[in-house]
Amino acid sequence: MKRILVTGGLGFIGSHTVVELQNEGFEVVIIDDLSNSTIGVLDKITEITGIQPAFHQIDLKNKKEVKKFFDTTTVDGIIHFAAFKAVGESMHKPLDYYENNLGSLVYLLQQMRDHKLDNFIFSSSCTVYGQADELPITEKAPVKTAESVYGNTKQIGEEIIKDTCKAYNLNSIALRYFNPIGAHPSVKIGELPIGVPQNLIPYVTQTAAGIRKELSVFGDDYDTKDGTAVRDYIHVVDLAKAHIAALQRLIKKNNTKSFEFFNVGTGKGSSVLEVIKAFEKITGKPLNYKIVGRREGDITAAFADTTNANKELNWKTEKSLEEALEAAWKWQQQNEI
Ligand code: UFG
């Protein structure tokens, strides 16, 4: 049985990936510092799969702790989620973001080099493309100057991994996520936004639940079908499965380059108003929203060309936007956050 380390394994995407790894017969070891997650998620994962993953509460910025872990544990692959991810916050706390997102990455890669470990999957983001000139976005689209510190940590992270793979003969895949949403069908794990949500779907579900008075739609003067911004919303379970596909590619040595990257989305763009309409259909009641000005830093439209991921990873999305919204709504109702 292959043992896989999942950093940030109690977070939103991490926890769903742990479940899928266990479903596929992998043994999972989680590292999480609980800075943006709760230990209760470990029990929920166990309830879903019937298997308790090993857990270590380690801050990956602590180089000594990281070394200690790898001196005593060997793994066949690493899926690295642990990172700060709030775009707005990253602009006010650049050094925290660079230290946390890049420092921890360097320490992990050093341990892989020292212990001769291989197979590294990195959480990247479609934010590396900025506003792409052509839609849908292929992997050939150029990486543009990052709009945010968060985005820059993903760009630099990919560069660090690429150089490391070349120098030390390691193999890695970066997955450039579009907009992950939804929750597990068991409704035991999902997204737990702390404070006021910044992302669209948690804000929508909290508004429907009466926690927020009204949703602000940021801009209706974009050059899109209805004037609101367009994104590619992918169900988190589909996204989790892409990690297993990428890991299998590395383990089976099917990769063609030591460092590869793939767009992970549905290939379908949905506008903010389309999301609202789909959500209203699911709940059967109108959502309280108003149109306001554009949000700073937002792009007009982004959705993935998934040809490469479909072909090379032998993976495709199975769930619709409606299924993802329904899961998010069930999760909201159960958690009342
Ligand atoms: N939106 C609203 N009202 C809200 C929140 C969002 O209208 O209250 C709109 C945004 O303006 C945007 C769309 O809904 O047009 C999606 O916004 P999100 O904040 O949910 O997602 P983003 O596309 O802005 O950001 C996401 C991730 C980032 C990542 C980025 C890459 O949250 O981590 O995609 O493009 F960097």
Angular region, 8: left φ>0, alpha ψ -120 to 50, beta rest: left
Q: Which of 199, 273, 296 to mutate to test the pocket of ligand 1 (most atoms within 8 A of CB)?
A: 199
C-alpha radius of gyration, the chain, whole number: 19
Would you call 150 a catalytic residue per the annotation?
A: yes
pLDDT higher for 57 or 192? Answer: 57
Q: Token pair of 17, please?
A: 């990936």
Decide if 157 is inside a domain.
yes
The answer as to whether 120 is a domain residue is yes
Domain of 41 in residue numbering reads as 3-181+235-265+305-318
Residue 189 lies in a domain: no
- The answer to whether residue 222 is domain-embedded is no
Residue 61 confidence (pLDDT): 98
pLDDT for 337 beyond 70: no
Give dist(CA 277, CA 274) in Å, integer.
Answer: 5
CA distances from 220 to 48, 224, 244, 280 (A): 41, 9, 38, 19
Q: Where does ligand 1 bind, in terms of residues with CB under 6 Å?
A: 85, 87, 125-127, 151, 179, 198-200, 203, 215-218, 229, 231, 272, 295, 298, 302
Can you read off the two tokens belonging to residue 63?
Answer: 């180089």
Whole-prediction pTM: 0.98
CB 214 within 8 A of CB 246: no
Q: Pocket of ligand 1, candidates 84, 126, 179: which has the most ligand atoms within 8 Å of its Cβ, to mutate?
A: 179
Number of separate domains in the chain: 1
Rounded to whole angstroms, the maximal C-alpha distance in the chain is 57
CATH number of 126's domain: 3.40.50.720
Mean pLDDT of 47-65: 98
If we measure between CA atoms, which residue out of 197, 208, 179, 202 comes closest to residue 289?
208
For 176-191, the pLDDT digits (tens) are 999 999 999 999 999 9
**pLDDT tens-place string over residues 200-219:** 999 999 999 999 999 999 99
91 domain residue, yes or no: yes
Q: Is 289 among the domain residues? A: no
Residue 162 is assigned to a structural domain of this protein: yes
User: How far, in Å, are 141, 247, 329 from residue 81 at the CA level?
Assistant: 24, 14, 24
